[in-house]
Amino acid sequence: MIFLFSSAFVFVVTALLIAFVYLAPARAVEAALNTTRKQSGLIRKENTLPNGLRYVYLEGGQGEPLMLLHGFGGNKDTFTRVSRFLVKRYRVIIPDIIGFGESAHPFQADYSPSTQVERLRALSQALNLKSFHLGGNSMGGQIALLYTALYPAEVNSLWLLSPAGVWSVPKSDVLKEVTESGHNALIATNEKEFKEVMALGMSRPPFIPEPMLKVLAQERIQNAALEKRIFRKILDHSVEDQISGMETPTLIMFGSRDRVIPVETANVLSKLLPNSKVVFVQNAGHVPMFEKPRQCANDYVSFRESMFEGQSNA
């Protein structure tokens, strides 16, 4: 009798959840994001800079500040899953970079990596961060590298996850197609392309109900024209000359199945950055911290602990 009651209860709850997803997909997406953020100990916050640009960001945890920068086409929730394993040790801050997510999207603004650095520096000053640890995925990694090159005293360590900006290696098929034909498989102008972008970025994209997928796709579709402008700026800027010999402790992390940024980039970076360590995340794609959050977090914590041991020994 108890078993039958439990089964009936589960059936009713499941049916209600399915109805919620199909009848109110936008609210279902919002509920799912809020639940994941809460589980990860993150709170949504806003900060408007003196120049009028608004940043929306997630923050949680205690300890030394760690700012994490998402990649091209992503947003702050790219780092939500991995943050669950980091907030017990660090004060985690994850902004939507200007031009993405809920932050400001001024269409005619300058989106060069150096300008993005200055904006993020203004945000860090608004948050009273005199120095902090910095991480970034893809475009966010490019910005993090440039930030450190320009303001080395403010960045205590770097965490690079499939970073862009190292263009001396042979291009991936995706980047080759952009330069040769102009077609960019990383930009979604319709729902079909959004699914293809997810498949390109991850080794095993998560299951998302179709109604919720359509809601998520709209953010990318509506931002497609701006993303085209931003992507050109990313490709135009190589960070290699600026970061050569930079001694900031750095963890370089690549998914072994990255199809966007060639994994050979890790070898180039390790030579440019004398105080760096390389980790390959097996069976992960371009956003390893999303696909393998616990593993990436463990590797990062180990890296930070080894930094502390090195400082103690010194």
Alpha helices in the chain (DSSP H): 2-23, 25-39, 80-83, 113-126, 139-150, 173-181, 191-201, 210-222, 224-236, 240-243, 265-272, 288-291, 293-313
Is 286 catalytic? The answer is yes
Q: Which of 40, 59, 70, 291 is catalytic?
A: 70
How far is it, in rounded angstroms, from Cα 230 to Cα 139? 10
Is 30 catalytic? The answer is no
How far is it, in rounded angstroms, from Cα 183 to Cα 101? 23
How far is it, in rounded angstroms, from Cα 75 to Cα 133? 19
66: which strand partners? 92, 133
Relative to beta strand 91-95, strand 54-60 is antiparallel
Picking from 304, 310, 269, the residue whose alpha carbon sits closest to that of residue 144 is 269
Picking from 186, 157, 149, 169, the residue whose alpha carbon sits closest to that of residue 252 is 157
Relative to beta strand 65-69, strand 91-95 is parallel
Q: Which of 124, 138, 157, 162 is catalytic?
A: 138
Burial category of 191 from C-beta neighbours within 10 Å (exposed 0-12, middle 13-18, buried 19 and up): middle
Is 133 catalytic? The answer is no
How far is it, in rounded angstroms, from Cα 300 to Cα 64? 14
Q: Which of 172, 193, 276, 286 is catalytic?
A: 286
Q: 3-state DSSP call for residue 71?
A: coil
Q: Which of 102, 177, 196, 264 is catalytic?
A: 264
Is 131 catalytic? The answer is no
Which residues are catalytically annotated?
Answer: 70, 138, 264, 286
